[in-house]
Structure 1
């Protein structure tokens, strides 16, 4: 019978306490080649950097549409920092940590999660974040005539449409990179499961 590391991990989850599974996986993670360990640890940071660039691009587009020349640094700082942090936190929460705890054994689920985190936290979120920031600046500095109450929704839809069209490629690229990163992480996870057991593994001591 062919040994399937994923099935073996599922069996372990039912036969031993979850903390012991995590301990086993972390021990095997430390036995991986350094390049794999670094890619697993720092991959989300690269995804976060892409999200920061997406935030800065979205901020720049909204500033142009609303004719804002003031407070460039004030608006750019949160647009770079918040998408960066939210993407890393989101990816680690739904992909990296579940893999290292043995709670995520479905390759399709890993790819879907990676793509969704990248496109939502790293693509859509920066766009939605840039809108209120720049709307507030446009109102404060009166750079663009604000609409009357009955036309507010129509006005902001008209403002967002060209920005969304220009940033559609960012959403696609982020999703692709998220899928690629999660696929590489799952491959590293499978390599980790395929390592020969040691005397400290729960499967030997259970």
Structure 2
């Protein structure tokens, strides 16, 4: 048997095949296992890219948050000025009609409704119009000024007039108007004091112009950033 083994080994060496020893086989297995355990280039690239992608997303989210915060603060300031204008209009008409009833109810409604109306109008006529219709800067300023005048002066004045006028008729704090001269009667009652509404009119117009400029500047900045990234 030993002679046969030696003959087979000699034949293998003559054929160019060198049999491996146990140590060499074990070494090859270790090398193969270590190569199998090492991460490939694609996995390493993915590990390197992951923090970079997360950083880019965080930066974009931070920019978006700042823009949204700026827009929200501008809209809330605009709406707050309309609410203050409503409170002033309510005070003027209550003084004109000598009304002393339901003060909290009238102040709450005349302040809150212009506030909400300004937010809705600003969202629909300015923000959505900018991002959907791409309106011009002049158009944006004009719309914002009209929102300030309508929602911050005309609407709260009419609201305060109607609410306090009803209370004046209900509690008879002022003489009732004669037939056929209702509008003239109410106008004569408050024509002097209502001139004070010129102050919020000027203020709301100026505030509307500033709000329009700020909204358009924020829109252009975001548009340029989007084009630059593309």
Please give the TM-score of this superposition, normalised by the length of structure 2: 0.69
- The aligned residue for residue 37 of structure 1 is 68
Question: Relative contact order: is structure 1 or structure 2 higher (C-alpha 8 Å, sep ≥ 6)?
Answer: 1
Distance in structure 1 (CA, Å) of the matches to 2:166 and 2:123: 32
> Could you tell me which residue of structure 2 aligns to residue 95 of structure 1?
126
Moved over 4 A (4+): 196-199
- Report the Cα distance in structure 1 between the residues aligned to 2:137 and 2:61, rounded to whole angstroms: 22
Correspondences of 1:148-159 after superposition (within 5 Å): 148-159=178-189
- The whole-number CA distance in structure 2 between the counterparts of 1:144 and 1:48 is 33
1:33 CA drift (Å):
6.1
- CA contact 2:177–2:186 (8 Å) conserved in 1: no
Note closer, same or farther for the CA distance 1:30–1:156 as it changes in structure 2 (3 Å cut). farther
Give 1:30 shift: 5.3
3-state DSSP class of the match of 1:149? Answer: coil
CA contact (8 A) 2:83 2:110 kept: yes
Which has the larger Rg? 2
Equivalent position to 1:86, from 117, 120, 140: 117
Could you tell me how far apart the structure 2 residues matched to 1:31 and 1:185 are?
A: 19
Whole-Å separation in 1 of the counterparts to 2:187 and 2:120: 30
Q: TM-score, normalised by structure 1?
A: 0.77
TM-aligned CA deviation for residue 104 of structure 1 = 2.6
Q: How many residues align?
A: 171
Equivalent in the alignment of 1:13: none
Alignment partner, residue 180 of structure 1: 210
- Distance in 1 separating the partners of 2:218 and 2:146: 20
User: Is the deviation greater in 142-151 or in 116-125?
Assistant: 142-151
* 1:127 equivalent among 157, 167, 171: 157
How much has 1:93 moved relative to structure 2? 0.7
How far apart, CA to CA, are the structure 2 residues paired with 1:193 and 1:32? Answer: 13
SS of equivalent residue, structure 2 residue 181: helix
Cα deviation code 1:147-168 (max 9, x no counterpart): 2113212111213422431111
Does structure 1 retain, via aligned residues, the 8 Å contact 2:126–2:144?
A: yes
Distance 1:106 1:113 in 2: 11
Structure 2, unmatched stretches of 5+, are 1-59
Shift, 1:34, TM fit: 4.2
* Cα distance, 1:92–1:163 mapped onto 2, change above 3 Å: farther
